[in-house]
Structure 1
Protein backbone atom coordinates (compact mmCIF):
# COMPACT_ATOMS: atom_id res chain seq x y z
CA UNK A 1 0.00 0.00 0.00
CA UNK A 2 1.21 3.50 -0.80
CA UNK A 3 1.55 5.23 2.58
CA UNK A 4 1.95 8.65 1.04
CA UNK A 5 -1.38 8.66 -0.81
CA UNK A 6 -3.75 11.41 0.21
CA UNK A 7 -7.46 10.93 -0.53
CA UNK A 8 -9.56 14.05 -0.32
CA UNK A 9 -12.74 15.66 -1.53
CA UNK A 10 -12.24 18.57 -3.89
CA UNK A 11 -14.46 21.57 -4.49
CA UNK A 12 -15.54 23.01 -7.82
CA UNK A 13 -12.51 25.26 -8.39
CA UNK A 14 -10.08 22.51 -7.53
CA UNK A 15 -12.03 20.03 -9.67
CA UNK A 16 -11.64 22.38 -12.62
CA UNK A 17 -7.91 22.66 -11.95
CA UNK A 18 -7.59 18.83 -11.96
CA UNK A 19 -9.36 18.25 -15.29
CA UNK A 20 -6.24 17.37 -17.29
CA UNK A 21 -4.90 15.01 -14.62
CA UNK A 22 -8.30 13.34 -14.22
CA UNK A 23 -8.52 12.97 -18.01
CA UNK A 24 -5.14 11.21 -17.94
CA UNK A 25 -6.48 8.70 -15.39
CA UNK A 26 -9.66 8.11 -17.38
CA UNK A 27 -7.80 7.60 -20.66
CA UNK A 28 -5.38 5.21 -18.95
CA UNK A 29 -8.22 3.16 -17.47
CA UNK A 30 -10.08 2.91 -20.78
CA UNK A 31 -6.87 2.05 -22.62
CA UNK A 32 -6.33 -0.67 -20.01
CA UNK A 33 -9.73 -2.19 -20.80
CA UNK A 34 -11.98 -0.71 -18.09
CA UNK A 35 -15.65 -0.53 -19.03
CA UNK A 36 -16.44 2.89 -17.58
CA UNK A 37 -18.84 4.32 -20.21
CA UNK A 38 -16.22 5.06 -22.88
CA UNK A 39 -14.91 3.24 -25.94
CA UNK A 40 -11.28 2.95 -27.05
CA UNK A 41 -9.69 4.99 -28.45
CA UNK A 42 -10.68 7.74 -26.03
CA UNK A 43 -9.25 11.14 -26.89
CA UNK A 44 -7.87 13.36 -24.17
CA UNK A 45 -10.25 16.10 -25.39
CA UNK A 46 -13.30 13.86 -24.91
CA UNK A 47 -12.05 12.83 -21.46
CA UNK A 48 -11.52 16.48 -20.51
CA UNK A 49 -15.06 17.33 -21.66
CA UNK A 50 -16.37 14.60 -19.35
CA UNK A 51 -14.42 16.02 -16.39
CA UNK A 52 -15.57 19.57 -17.15
CA UNK A 53 -19.16 18.30 -16.80
CA UNK A 54 -18.23 16.61 -13.52
CA UNK A 55 -16.69 19.85 -12.21
CA UNK A 56 -19.90 21.69 -13.13
CA UNK A 57 -21.87 19.05 -11.20
CA UNK A 58 -19.59 19.57 -8.19
CA UNK A 59 -20.25 23.32 -8.40
CA UNK A 60 -24.02 22.65 -8.37
CA UNK A 61 -23.60 20.24 -5.42
CA UNK A 62 -24.97 17.42 -7.57
CA UNK A 63 -21.82 15.32 -7.03
CA UNK A 64 -18.90 14.98 -4.70
CA UNK A 65 -15.51 14.37 -6.29
CA UNK A 66 -12.72 12.64 -4.41
CA UNK A 67 -9.18 12.25 -5.64
CA UNK A 68 -6.20 10.18 -4.54
CA UNK A 69 -2.83 11.88 -4.93
CA UNK A 70 0.74 10.83 -4.31
CA UNK A 71 3.18 12.89 -2.20
CA UNK A 72 4.01 15.02 -5.25
CA UNK A 73 0.36 15.89 -5.92
CA UNK A 74 -0.01 13.59 -8.95
CA UNK A 75 -3.56 12.25 -9.29
CA UNK A 76 -3.55 8.45 -8.98
CA UNK A 77 -7.28 7.80 -8.80
CA UNK A 78 -10.72 9.22 -8.28
CA UNK A 79 -14.29 8.36 -7.33
CA UNK A 80 -17.56 10.29 -7.41
CA UNK A 81 -20.63 10.36 -5.25
CA UNK A 82 -23.73 11.32 -7.24
CA UNK A 83 -25.79 13.30 -4.75
CA UNK A 84 -28.58 14.51 -7.06
CA UNK A 85 -31.37 11.96 -6.73
CA UNK A 86 -35.16 12.04 -7.17
CA UNK A 87 -37.06 13.75 -4.36
CA UNK A 88 -38.28 10.42 -2.97
CA UNK A 89 -34.65 9.24 -2.52
CA UNK A 90 -32.93 11.98 -0.48
CA UNK A 91 -31.17 9.31 1.57
CA UNK A 92 -29.48 7.63 -1.44
CA UNK A 93 -26.42 8.32 -3.59
CA UNK A 94 -24.65 6.53 -6.43
CA UNK A 95 -20.95 5.76 -6.40
CA UNK A 96 -19.53 6.33 -9.87
CA UNK A 97 -16.33 6.28 -11.88
CA UNK A 98 -14.04 4.66 -9.34
CA UNK A 99 -10.82 4.88 -11.35
CA UNK A 100 -7.22 4.11 -10.46
CA UNK A 101 -4.34 4.69 -12.86
CA UNK A 102 -2.65 1.41 -13.80
CA UNK A 103 0.65 2.55 -12.28
CA UNK A 104 -1.03 2.78 -8.85
CA UNK A 105 -3.12 -0.40 -8.84
CA UNK A 106 -2.85 -3.16 -6.25
CA UNK A 107 -1.48 -0.73 -3.70
CA UNK A 108 -4.61 0.02 -1.70
CA UNK A 109 -5.62 3.20 -3.55
CA UNK A 110 -9.07 1.91 -4.56
CA UNK A 111 -9.75 0.65 -1.05
CA UNK A 112 -8.89 4.06 0.38
CA UNK A 113 -11.04 5.83 -2.21
CA UNK A 114 -14.00 3.61 -1.33
CA UNK A 115 -13.61 4.26 2.40
CA UNK A 116 -13.42 8.01 1.72
CA UNK A 117 -16.49 8.04 -0.52
CA UNK A 118 -18.48 6.23 2.18
CA UNK A 119 -17.41 8.89 4.69
CA UNK A 120 -18.40 11.64 2.24
CA UNK A 121 -21.80 9.95 1.87
CA UNK A 122 -22.29 9.89 5.63
CA UNK A 123 -21.34 13.57 5.82
CA UNK A 124 -24.04 14.27 3.21
CA UNK A 125 -26.64 12.32 5.19
CA UNK A 126 -26.76 9.46 2.69
CA UNK A 127 -27.50 6.02 4.12
CA UNK A 128 -28.01 3.92 0.96
CA UNK A 129 -25.30 3.69 -1.67
CA UNK A 130 -25.56 1.96 -5.04
CA UNK A 131 -22.95 1.17 -7.69
CA UNK A 132 -22.42 -1.06 -10.68
CA UNK A 133 -19.32 -2.70 -12.12
CA UNK A 134 -18.19 -5.17 -14.77
CA UNK A 135 -19.11 -8.71 -13.77
CA UNK A 136 -16.05 -10.76 -12.92
CA UNK A 137 -13.64 -7.82 -12.81
CA UNK A 138 -11.21 -6.82 -10.08
CA UNK A 139 -13.56 -4.08 -8.87
CA UNK A 140 -16.32 -6.62 -8.21
CA UNK A 141 -14.04 -8.42 -5.76
CA UNK A 142 -12.97 -5.11 -4.18
CA UNK A 143 -16.57 -4.10 -3.46
CA UNK A 144 -17.46 -7.49 -2.02
CA UNK A 145 -14.42 -7.34 0.30
CA UNK A 146 -15.47 -3.83 1.38
CA UNK A 147 -18.82 -5.13 2.62
CA UNK A 148 -21.00 -4.19 -0.33
CA UNK A 149 -23.96 -6.47 -1.02
CA UNK A 150 -24.26 -7.95 -4.50
CA UNK A 151 -27.87 -7.47 -5.61
CA UNK A 152 -27.86 -8.77 -9.16
CA UNK A 153 -26.24 -9.13 -12.54
CA UNK A 154 -27.46 -8.10 -15.99
CA UNK A 155 -25.78 -10.00 -18.87
CA UNK A 156 -24.64 -7.96 -21.89
CA UNK A 157 -25.47 -4.70 -20.09
CA UNK A 158 -22.60 -2.68 -21.55
CA UNK A 159 -19.62 -2.84 -23.86
CA UNK A 160 -15.97 -3.15 -23.04
CA UNK A 161 -13.76 -0.46 -24.63
CA UNK A 162 -12.95 -2.90 -27.47
CA UNK A 163 -16.65 -3.42 -28.28
CA UNK A 164 -17.18 -6.82 -26.62
CA UNK A 165 -20.31 -7.22 -24.48
CA UNK A 166 -19.94 -7.45 -20.72
CA UNK A 167 -22.26 -8.18 -17.85
CA UNK A 168 -22.79 -5.66 -15.07
CA UNK A 169 -23.15 -6.48 -11.40
CA UNK A 170 -25.06 -4.12 -9.13
CA UNK A 171 -24.14 -3.57 -5.48
CA UNK A 172 -25.61 -1.63 -2.57
CA UNK A 173 -24.43 -0.71 0.88
CA UNK A 174 -26.43 0.47 3.89
CA UNK A 175 -24.57 3.06 5.95
CA UNK A 176 -25.13 4.14 9.51
CA UNK A 177 -26.11 7.81 9.79
CA UNK A 178 -23.28 10.24 10.54
Structure 2
Protein backbone atom coordinates (compact mmCIF):
# COMPACT_ATOMS: atom_id res chain seq x y z
CA UNK A 1 0.00 0.00 0.00
CA UNK A 2 2.82 2.43 0.80
CA UNK A 3 3.83 2.51 -2.87
CA UNK A 4 0.30 3.60 -3.76
CA UNK A 5 0.34 6.46 -1.25
CA UNK A 6 1.03 9.96 -2.50
CA UNK A 7 2.03 12.77 -0.12
CA UNK A 8 1.47 16.34 -1.19
CA UNK A 9 1.12 19.85 0.14
CA UNK A 10 -2.28 21.50 -0.07
CA UNK A 11 -2.86 25.07 -1.15
CA UNK A 12 -5.39 27.28 0.59
CA UNK A 13 -8.38 26.44 -1.63
CA UNK A 14 -7.66 22.73 -1.55
CA UNK A 15 -7.25 22.79 2.23
CA UNK A 16 -10.81 24.09 2.53
CA UNK A 17 -12.18 21.36 0.26
CA UNK A 18 -10.43 18.65 2.32
CA UNK A 19 -11.82 19.71 5.72
CA UNK A 20 -14.42 16.88 5.82
CA UNK A 21 -11.90 14.15 5.00
CA UNK A 22 -9.36 15.57 7.44
CA UNK A 23 -12.02 15.62 10.17
CA UNK A 24 -12.57 11.90 9.51
CA UNK A 25 -8.85 11.24 10.03
CA UNK A 26 -8.76 13.28 13.25
CA UNK A 27 -11.84 11.62 14.73
CA UNK A 28 -10.48 8.16 13.85
CA UNK A 29 -7.15 8.89 15.51
CA UNK A 30 -8.64 10.39 18.67
CA UNK A 31 -11.11 7.50 18.96
CA UNK A 32 -8.07 5.22 18.65
CA UNK A 33 -6.43 6.90 21.65
CA UNK A 34 -4.14 9.47 20.02
CA UNK A 35 -3.23 12.34 22.34
CA UNK A 36 -3.35 15.17 19.81
CA UNK A 37 -5.02 17.96 21.86
CA UNK A 38 -8.56 16.56 21.81
CA UNK A 39 -10.65 14.68 24.35
CA UNK A 40 -13.32 12.01 23.95
CA UNK A 41 -15.94 12.24 22.77
CA UNK A 42 -14.70 14.36 19.85
CA UNK A 43 -17.68 15.76 18.00
CA UNK A 44 -17.58 16.02 14.25
CA UNK A 45 -18.35 19.76 14.53
CA UNK A 46 -15.31 20.27 16.80
CA UNK A 47 -13.11 18.36 14.34
CA UNK A 48 -14.46 20.36 11.40
CA UNK A 49 -13.88 23.65 13.25
CA UNK A 50 -10.29 22.64 13.95
CA UNK A 51 -9.58 21.89 10.28
CA UNK A 52 -11.29 25.10 9.16
CA UNK A 53 -8.85 26.95 11.42
CA UNK A 54 -5.94 25.04 9.90
CA UNK A 55 -7.18 25.93 6.41
CA UNK A 56 -7.27 29.58 7.47
CA UNK A 57 -3.65 29.26 8.63
CA UNK A 58 -2.70 27.77 5.27
CA UNK A 59 -4.37 30.74 3.52
CA UNK A 60 -2.28 33.13 5.66
CA UNK A 61 0.89 31.12 4.86
CA UNK A 62 1.34 30.40 8.57
CA UNK A 63 1.01 26.63 8.09
CA UNK A 64 1.90 24.06 5.52
CA UNK A 65 -0.63 21.22 5.37
CA UNK A 66 0.41 17.90 3.91
CA UNK A 67 -1.83 14.95 3.18
CA UNK A 68 -1.21 11.32 2.32
CA UNK A 69 -3.68 9.84 -0.16
CA UNK A 70 -4.12 6.18 -0.94
CA UNK A 71 -4.45 4.83 -4.49
CA UNK A 72 -8.17 5.68 -4.47
CA UNK A 73 -7.56 9.32 -3.50
CA UNK A 74 -8.75 8.87 0.09
CA UNK A 75 -6.87 10.91 2.70
CA UNK A 76 -5.26 8.42 5.08
CA UNK A 77 -2.77 10.69 6.83
CA UNK A 78 -1.69 14.25 7.41
CA UNK A 79 0.93 16.43 9.09
CA UNK A 80 1.39 20.16 9.50
CA UNK A 81 4.31 22.52 9.58
CA UNK A 82 3.58 25.55 11.74
CA UNK A 83 5.73 28.31 10.28
CA UNK A 84 4.28 31.23 12.27
CA UNK A 85 7.08 31.86 14.75
CA UNK A 86 8.30 34.86 16.77
CA UNK A 87 10.49 37.43 15.04
CA UNK A 88 13.66 35.97 16.56
CA UNK A 89 12.91 32.46 15.21
CA UNK A 90 12.33 32.85 11.48
CA UNK A 91 14.47 29.76 10.84
CA UNK A 92 12.28 27.44 12.99
CA UNK A 93 9.00 25.57 12.48
CA UNK A 94 6.90 23.19 14.54
CA UNK A 95 5.77 19.84 13.18
CA UNK A 96 2.27 19.10 14.43
CA UNK A 97 -0.70 16.78 14.15
CA UNK A 98 1.01 13.79 12.57
CA UNK A 99 -2.07 11.62 12.00
CA UNK A 100 -2.50 8.34 10.15
CA UNK A 101 -5.82 6.48 10.03
CA UNK A 102 -5.78 3.33 12.12
CA UNK A 103 -6.59 1.23 9.05
CA UNK A 104 -3.51 2.58 7.24
CA UNK A 105 -0.89 2.29 9.98
CA UNK A 106 2.35 0.32 9.78
CA UNK A 107 2.54 0.82 6.03
CA UNK A 108 5.23 3.51 5.93
CA UNK A 109 2.81 6.42 5.52
CA UNK A 110 4.06 8.38 8.53
CA UNK A 111 7.63 7.94 7.30
CA UNK A 112 6.63 9.37 3.91
CA UNK A 113 4.87 12.29 5.58
CA UNK A 114 7.97 13.06 7.67
CA UNK A 115 10.22 12.95 4.60
CA UNK A 116 8.03 15.40 2.71
CA UNK A 117 7.61 17.72 5.71
CA UNK A 118 11.43 18.00 5.79
CA UNK A 119 11.42 18.94 2.09
CA UNK A 120 8.71 21.56 2.62
CA UNK A 121 10.55 23.01 5.60
CA UNK A 122 13.74 23.37 3.57
CA UNK A 123 11.82 25.01 0.72
CA UNK A 124 10.36 27.47 3.25
CA UNK A 125 13.84 28.34 4.55
CA UNK A 126 13.46 26.50 7.85
CA UNK A 127 16.55 24.88 9.35
CA UNK A 128 15.33 23.86 12.83
CA UNK A 129 12.22 21.76 13.41
CA UNK A 130 10.68 20.82 16.74
CA UNK A 131 7.88 18.47 17.74
CA UNK A 132 6.45 16.65 20.72
CA UNK A 133 4.83 13.26 21.13
CA UNK A 134 3.44 10.96 23.81
CA UNK A 135 6.26 9.47 25.85
CA UNK A 136 6.62 5.77 25.12
CA UNK A 137 4.35 5.88 22.08
CA UNK A 138 4.94 4.26 18.70
CA UNK A 139 5.85 7.62 17.15
CA UNK A 140 9.10 7.77 19.14
CA UNK A 141 10.60 5.03 16.94
CA UNK A 142 9.47 6.84 13.79
CA UNK A 143 11.13 10.09 14.83
CA UNK A 144 14.37 8.40 15.87
CA UNK A 145 14.58 6.62 12.49
CA UNK A 146 13.90 9.94 10.72
CA UNK A 147 16.90 11.59 12.39
CA UNK A 148 15.18 13.53 15.15
CA UNK A 149 17.06 14.16 18.41
CA UNK A 150 15.29 13.54 21.70
CA UNK A 151 15.51 16.50 24.09
CA UNK A 152 13.64 15.16 27.10
CA UNK A 153 10.37 14.24 28.76
CA UNK A 154 7.83 16.14 30.80
CA UNK A 155 5.74 13.76 32.94
CA UNK A 156 1.98 14.43 33.14
CA UNK A 157 2.27 17.10 30.43
CA UNK A 158 -1.05 16.34 28.75
CA UNK A 159 -4.07 14.09 28.87
CA UNK A 160 -4.93 11.13 26.73
CA UNK A 161 -8.38 11.36 25.09
CA UNK A 162 -9.83 9.27 27.94
CA UNK A 163 -8.56 11.71 30.59
CA UNK A 164 -5.51 9.78 31.79
CA UNK A 165 -2.27 11.74 32.20
CA UNK A 166 0.54 11.14 29.75
CA UNK A 167 4.10 12.31 29.52
CA UNK A 168 5.36 14.22 26.51
CA UNK A 169 8.74 13.83 24.81
CA UNK A 170 10.26 16.73 22.90
CA UNK A 171 12.41 16.39 19.78
CA UNK A 172 14.32 18.63 17.40
CA UNK A 173 15.90 18.22 14.01
CA UNK A 174 18.42 20.38 12.17
CA UNK A 175 17.99 20.35 8.41
The structural deviation recorded for 1:95 is 0.1
Q: In structure 2, the residue corresponding to 1:3 is in which secondary structure? A: helix
Correspondence for 1:71: 71
TM-score scaled by length of structure 1 = 0.97
CA distance in 2, matches of 1:110, 1:41: 25
CA distance in 1, matches of 2:38, 2:23: 12
**1:119 to 2:107 alignment:** no
Q: CA RMSD in A?
A: 0.6
Q: CA deviation digits over 1:23-78, x for unaligned, max 9?
A: 00000000000000000110111000000000000000000000000111100000
CA distance in 2, matches of 1:44, 1:5: 26
Correspondence for 2:52: 52
TM-score scaled by length of structure 2 = 0.99
CA distance in 2, matches of 1:105, 1:123: 28
Correspondence for 2:104: 104
Q: In structure 1, the residue corresponding to 2:155 is in which secondary structure? A: strand
CA distance in 2, matches of 1:14, 1:71: 18
Could you tell me which runs of 5 or more consecutive residues in structure 1 were left unpaired when the two chains were aligned. Answer: none
The structural deviation recorded for 1:110 is 0.2
Correspondence for 1:167: 167
CA distance in 2, matches of 1:105, 1:19: 21
Correspondence for 1:144: 144
Could you tell me which runs of 5 or more consecutive residues in structure 2 were left unpaired when the two chains were aligned. Answer: none
CA distance in 1, matches of 2:118, 2:138: 19
**Paired positions, count:** 175
Return structure 1 stretches of 4+ with deviation > 3 angstroms.
none
